[in-house]
Amino acid sequence: MKFADLHLHTKYSDGTFSPEELVLQAQKAGLACIALTDHDTVEGCAEAARAAAAVQMEFIPGTELTAEHDDTELHVLGYFLDTENKKLLTEIAKFQAVRQNRIHEMVQRINDLGVPLKVESVFALANCKSPGRPHVARAMVKAGLVGSLDEAFERFLKKGRPAWVPKQKISALEAVDLIHQAGGLAIMAHPGLNRSDDMIPALVEAGLDGIECFHTKHSTTMSERYLEIADQHRLLISGGSDCHGFSKGKPLIGTVRVPYSHVERLKAKVAAKRSASARG
């Protein structure tokens, strides 16, 4: 039987693998298909597509948009995106600019506390368009300013700590539209993590295509609940490990995976949408 892991990160956001390393790890995990879903970016997709093609692995270009609805944060996955789509690139560039400004602001706050972190060291380490708190934490560890990533988050970066700066979020309904106009499918990510069930009907109304039922942080009960919700609203089913690289020795990639039949259903929907829009 073939399996897919449809939620993965690389160094183009807050993961540590290069796209090539991600594909190598996917091969080791025996996956037939992967989706790259870096936060607020599609920067790694072309490289990952080439690496996957070289080993005959199926690749889905995607992203994970940071969104909100009724003041609740949620993440919206986009699959099968046209990564050259002008509107998509323009919109995510705005979010990336805010993320970059946010790095300056977080470092300024850290400096104000008497901790001499250099902003250049964070950007040098991040080296991507969509930097975030993990890059600040890693730069602090590298400079010997904290002993661990956890310490950086606990003392400075987590919500409510002095260097925490909120991120800009796209409205969830706009996120669904943006993904659609870039030719993709919009999937609600890890609903079990966001206390976001109440918003599902509004998202469905806006054209949400699917929901991530299987995720590293979903319990069996949660997965069953979202499978039921998917059935009720006729949503497609997705799942993935949300691997960010090596965590405690072994990467998560492939530890949560979906049977390939779900990929076939996702592909059928995207093909149907494209032929409908080609007919006008």
Q: What angle do CA 58, 5, 157 make, to 5 degrees?
A: 125
- 158 touches ligand AMP (CB under 6 A): yes
Judged by CB under 5 A, which stretch of 52-60, 97-105, 210-218, 235-243 contacts Zn ion? 235-243
x/- binding map, residues 19-58, to ligand AMP, per CB under 6 A? --------------------x-------------------
Strand bridging mode 33-36 / 185-188? unpaired
The correct pick among 70, 120, 150, 205 for binding ligand AMP (CB under 6 A) is: 150
Backbone phi, then psi, for 68, in 5-degree steps?
-145, 155
Q: Is beta strand 72-79 parallel, antiparallel or unpaired with respect to 185-188? A: antiparallel
For 223, other C-beta atoms within 10 Å of its C-beta total 18
Q: Which of 5, 14, 38, 212 binds Fe ion (CB under 5 A)?
A: 14
Residue 109 sits in the site that holds ligand AMP (CB under 6 A): no
In the list Zn ion, ligand AMP, Fe ion, none, the entry touching 134 (Cβ below 5 to 8 angstroms by class) is ligand AMP
CB of 279 to Fe ion, least distance (A): 35
Return the number of the residue (43 or 242) whose C-beta is nearest Zn ion: 242
Give CA separation, 141 vs 104, 107, 117, in Å.
18, 14, 10
Interaction between residue 212 and Fe ion (CB under 5 A): no
Task: Please identify the residue of the shown chain whose CB is closest to the bound ligand AMP.
Answer: 132
The burial class, CB within 10 Å (0-12 / 13-18 / 19+), for 37 is buried
- Residues lying near ligand AMP in the complex (CB under 6 A) are found at 14, 39, 132-134, 149-150, 153, 158, 167, 244
